Amino acid sequence: MRQCPSPNFGDRKGTEAPSYIILHYTAMDTAQAAIERLCAPEHEVSAHYVVDAFGQVTQLVDDRQRAWHAGRSYWRGETDLNSHSIGIELANTGFQPYAMLQIDSLIKLLHAVMSRWRIPPQNVLGHSDISLGRKTDPGARFPWTQLARAGCAIHSSAEPASSTLPVSWDEFLTQAKRFGYDVSQPEDVLAALRMRFHPWIAGPLSAKDCAVMADLGDRFGIDLSLGTA
């Protein structure tokens, strides 16, 4: 692992240990260009790790420190995801497939970080999950199912029990809130769910969307009456 310390970090607030891992794409032409930007004080952005297309991992910020990668964000009532997470940037423009070596290296890195900080697979999230309507990374081409098979993320391919079941925005949003999403903008929730779990679906809210969200809420959601997992 390369070391390229970034000056863009601070102390975690309200916690000493990360609970989440947030995955990003760099949206830049090269990994080196992204690293230079993430290390430039004037840009005031950073991440803990960058993984290039060949699988080379560069650490920019120590895990114990607060990197500046999440921006305006929300998950399960938490709005300072920078303080509660590890940020991993993947060198990718957002329009290209992810390289096999890159994903293999990411999986190894995730195993190490998750083990070190006892982070469960359901707490590995995309930037698109926590910054609805603002961010789309790691994008529709990111192989979430491969990460789930490796125990580094979760996936759902739930199908509706019947194609004639009514589609309910109320139930969809209740389950979305249980899972962790900010439900203040329903269409953004739907877009984020599809981006991650079934990017081939388009159009209005469907029975498939509701089935997947219900599965996620039932398996990984919090009790809204208690506010705890």
What pairs with residue 89 in β-bridges? 24, 50
Hey, how many other C-beta atoms are within 10 angstroms of the C-beta on 41? Answer: 9
pTM: 0.95
Domain positions in the chain: 2-149, 169-220
Per-residue pLDDT of the chain (229 residues; tens, 9 = 90+): 999 999 999 999 999 999 999 999 999 999 999 999 999 999 999 999 999 999 999 999 999 999 999 999 999 999 999 999 999 999 999 999 999 999 999 999 999 999 999 999 999 999 999 999 999 999 999 999 999 999 999 999 999 987 666 799 999 999 999 999 999 999 999 999 999 999 999 999 999 999 999 999 999 998 876 554 4
From the list 125, 118, 121, 110, the residue with the least C-alpha distance to 51 is 110
Burial (CB < 10 A; 0-12, 13-18, 19+), residue 160, is: middle
CATH superfamily of 2-149: Peptidoglycan recognition protein-like (3.40.80.10)
Q: How far apart are CA 83 and CA 18, in angstroms?
A: 7
* Pairing label, strands 2-3, 57-59: parallel
Residues recognised as catalytic = 89
Q: How far apart are CA 40 and CA 63, in angstroms?
A: 19
DSSP category for residue 174: H
